[in-house]
């Protein structure tokens, strides 16, 4: 079988639990690159044993972060690049669809949709999750955020790809299912909320024309202080999250608390700035 001419880049750090399930589903692609950030578990050996190219990335606190660094430094053999996290698992339907759609000359990128799992349960309702993680390497890159003095995240988590030209949508979904525990989820989002608070204050002082509609809505609601409540009501009632049982309730609460963390940290950072 001819390999699909797409280079898949999987960004990792201590992903021994998730990585095998991710990599075993990528066998139809022409190139698999795992970009590691100093894992202390079996991540690197798992990647190498499963046939992936393994690159080591050590962030110096400045641009570029991990994904842009890979675009600039990895030996990417194909024009099309698919970025995945270790807890994102492609399906046959997804692979079949992108094999066809990446042959269409009028598109330079595609938005990917996800089928979300939380606490082991597949969620059918609540807010969907998507990102533009499939694009031509010559036509896209992740946005550059001026964060040299405050960021602690070495990978583009909230930064969006900026893609020249037409961007389509892949209908078949990728499975998002983290095999790590709830403590990891809470710790991860605590770190993310700190980044988002810093980013929010930065954006208030400068203009950024590359904000997506969702980002504009999110930061606008943060400015009013209503984002945690609006998110919970929207996810749990308007988007029928209550039909996903207790897991749907837990996720809506955790996510609304995440936005409450951002809001609280913004207030704290403002006070710290005023005291300087």
- Total structural domains in the chain? 2
pLDDT of 206 over the 70 cut: no
Q: Based on the domain organization, do 78 and 100 belong to the same domain?
A: yes
User: Read out DSSP for the chain?
Assistant: -PPEEEEEEEEESS-TTTHHHHHTT-TTEEEEEEEES--SSSHHHHHHHTT-EEEE----SSS--HHHHHHHHS---SSEEEEEETTEE--HHHHHHHHHHTT-TT-SEEEEEEEEEETTEE--SS--EEEEEEEETTTEEEPP---TTT---SS-SSPPEEE-S-EEE--SPEEE---S-HHHHHHHHHHHHHHHHHHHHHHHHS--TT--HHHHHHHHHHHHT-HHHHHHHIIIIIT-GGGGHHHHHHHHHHHHHHHHHHHHHHHHHHHHHHH-
Give 275's pLDDT tier (boundaries 50, 70, 90): confident
CATH number of domain containing 64: 3.90.550.10
pLDDT of 228 over the 60 cut: yes
- The range of the structural domain enclosing residue 188 comes to 182-275
pLDDT at 209: 54
Q: Based on the domain organization, do 35 and 123 belong to the same domain?
A: yes
Average pLDDT of span 20-24 = 98
Domain end position, chosen among 158, 176, 194:
176
Q: For 135-189, how does the pLDDT look when each residue is reduced to its tens digit (9 = 90+)?
A: 999 999 999 888 766 678 999 998 889 999 999 999 999 999 999 999 999 999 9
Q: Based on the domain organization, do 30 and 157 belong to the same domain?
A: yes
pLDDT at 217: 82
Q: Based on the domain organization, do 94 and 162 belong to the same domain?
A: yes
Domain end position, chosen among 176, 206, 232:
176
pLDDT at 220: 81
Q: Based on the domain organization, do 68 and 189 belong to the same domain?
A: no
């Amino acid at each position: 079988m001819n390999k699909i001419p797409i280079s898949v880049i999987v960004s990792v750090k201590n992903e021994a639990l998730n990585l095998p399930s991710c990599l075993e589903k990528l066998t139809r692609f022409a190139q698999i690159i795992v970009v590691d950030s100093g894992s202390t578990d079996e991540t690197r050996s798992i990647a190498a044993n499963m046939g992936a190219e393994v690159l080591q990335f050590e962030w110096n606190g400045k641009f570029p972060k991990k994904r842009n660094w890979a675009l600039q430094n990895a030996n990417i053999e194909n024009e099309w690049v698919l970025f995945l996290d270790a807890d994102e698992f492609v399906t046959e339907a997804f692979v079949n669809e992108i094999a066809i759609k990446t042959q269409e000359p009028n598109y330079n990128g595609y938005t990917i949709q996800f089928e979300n799992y939380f606490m082991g349960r597949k969620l059918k309702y609540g807010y969907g999750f998507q990102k533009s993680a499939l694009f031509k390497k010559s036509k896209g890159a992740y946005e550059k955020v001026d964060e040299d003095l405050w960021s602690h995240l070495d990978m583009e988590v909230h930064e969006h790809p900026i893609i020249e030209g037409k961007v389509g949508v892949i209908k078949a979904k990728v499975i998002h299912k983290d095999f790590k525990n709830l403590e990891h989820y809470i710790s991860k989002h605590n770190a993310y909320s700190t980044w988002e608070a810093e980013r929010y204050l930065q954006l208030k002082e400068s203009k950024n024309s590359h904000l997506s509609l969702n980002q504009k809505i999110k930061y606008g609601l943060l400015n009013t202080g209503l984002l945690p409540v609006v998110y919970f009501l929207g996810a749990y009632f308007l988007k029928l999250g209550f039909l996903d049982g207790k897991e749907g309730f837990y996720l809506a609460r955790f996510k609304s608390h995440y936005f409450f963390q951002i809001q609280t940290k913004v207030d704290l950072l403002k006070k710290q700035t005023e005291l300087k």
